[in-house]
């Protein structure tokens, strides 16, 4: 299920400070992940922020959060950005404002051209462990990929319907140093060193 939040109070929070951190993943946990009983039953859960990165111009923020409750455990992917929504072949995409207007360098310009939107998705622990187990093969596939002049080869891995990983190879000498993580059709990037550290921290959590 897709979860896209367009929150006016979040936009107000962003304008109040040039380097504001938006911390609203608890809203998603409570309303998008938690399986709440109908009756009055006490329960407890825990979460931990594993990774967060920010981009100043589009106010983009990408985060990875570990969540567990009883026997359930999920890795939450959060993507925040001032952006533009558009349809490609009737499928809704949410672009960062800096992807649509590459010349934007000032956050004030970004706020005038786009709107704040936040999207989340979560993936269960078994699927994350399968990803970890497949990383060696994915890296080998990347290394073996042949690239012609002017060509870009994409190695893709579907974590779920909402989360897709991809690595781009433009030159023979390229290494899979950056992973692109698509969360509900929005593109985010993370260095593989950081991503693998977050995955290890998730397993240990």
143 & 187 share domain: yes
Which domain covers residue 165, as residue numbers? 126-204
**Does one domain contain both 105 and 161?**
no
Looking at the fold, whether 168 and 85 belong to one and the same domain comes out as no
Tokens for 165, please give them: 């990983």
Which of the pair, 40 or 8, is modelled with greater confidence? Answer: 40
Tokens of 1: 């299920």
Three-state secondary structure of the chain? CCEEECCHHHHHHHHCCCCCCCCCHHHHHHHHHCCCCCCCCCCCCEEEEEEEEEECCCCEEEEEEEEEECCEEEEEEEEEEEEEEEEECCEEEEEEHHHHCCCCCCHHHHHHHCEEEEEEEEEEHHHHHHHHHHHHHHHHHHHHCCCCCCCCEEEEEECCCCEEEEEEECCCCCCCCEEEEEECCEEEEEEHHHHHHHHHHHHHC
Give the end of a domain, one of 90, 125, 160: 125
Mean pLDDT over each residue of the chain, to the nearest integer: 82
How far is residue 145's CA from residue 183's CA, in Å, rounded to a whole number? 25
Q: Is residue 105 located within the same domain as residue 146?
A: no
Predicted confidence (pLDDT) at residue 58 exceeds the cutoff of 60:
no
Please say if the pLDDT value at position 196 is more than 80. yes
Q: Are residues 109 and 157 in the same domain?
A: no
Model pLDDT, residue 161: 95
Reply yes or no on whether the pLDDT at 118 is more than 60: yes
Whether 120 and 138 map to the same domain: the answer is no
Residue 137 has pLDDT above 90, yes or no: yes
Per-residue model confidence as pLDDT tens digits over 69-88: 989 999 999 998 777 677 77
Domain boundary among 66, 98, 125: 125
Q: Do 107 and 143 share a domain, yes or no?
A: no
pLDDT at 121: 96
CA distances (Å), origin 149, targets 13, 113, 120, 143, 175: 46, 36, 37, 16, 17
Could you tell me if 5 and 119 are in contact, meaning their C-beta atoms sit under 8 angstroms apart?
yes
Q: Which range (20-24, 153-157, 175-179) has the least confidence?
A: 20-24
Mean pLDDT of the 39-56 span = 85
Q: Count CA within 13 A, CB hemisphere, residue 140.
A: 5
Residue after which a domain boundary falls, among 80, 97, 125: 125
Statement to judge: residues 89 and 185 lie in one domain: no
Phi, psi of 184 (to 5 degrees): 50, 50
Q: 55 versus 110: which is more confidently predicted?
A: 55
Does 130 lie in the same domain as 91? no
- The verdict on 102 and 190 lying in the same domain is no
Task: Name the domain count of the chain.
Answer: 2
Better-predicted residue by pLDDT, 136 or 24: 136
Indicate if the pLDDT at residue 98 is higher than 70.
Answer: no
- Residues 57 and 145 occupy one common structural domain: no
């Amino acid at each position: 299920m897709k979860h896209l939040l367009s929150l006016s109070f979040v936009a107000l929070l962003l304008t109040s400070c040039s380097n504001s951190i938006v911390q609203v993943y608890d809203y998603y946990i409570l309303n998008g992940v938690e399986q709440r009983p109908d009756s009055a039953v006490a329960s407890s859960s825990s979460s931990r922020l594993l990774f967060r990165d920010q981009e100043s111009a589009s106010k983009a923020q990408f985060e990875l959060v570990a969540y567990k409750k009883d026997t359930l455990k999920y890795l939450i992917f959060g993507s925040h950005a001032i952006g533009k929504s558009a349809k490609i072949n009737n499928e809704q995409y949410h672009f960062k404002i800096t992807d649509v207007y590459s010349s934007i360098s000032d956050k004030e310009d970004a706020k005038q051209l786009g709107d704040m939107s936040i999207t989340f998705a979560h993936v269960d622990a078994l699927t994350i462990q399968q990803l970890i187990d497949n990383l060696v093969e994915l890296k080998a596939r990347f290394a073996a990929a042949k690239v012609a002049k002017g060509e870009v080869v994409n190695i893709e891995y579907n974590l779920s319907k909402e989360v897709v990983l991809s690595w781009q190879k433009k030159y023979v000498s390229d290494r899979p140093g950056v992973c692109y993580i698509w969360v509900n059709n929005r593109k985010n990037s993370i260095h593989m060193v950081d991503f693998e550290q977050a995955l290890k921290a998730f397993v240990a959590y």
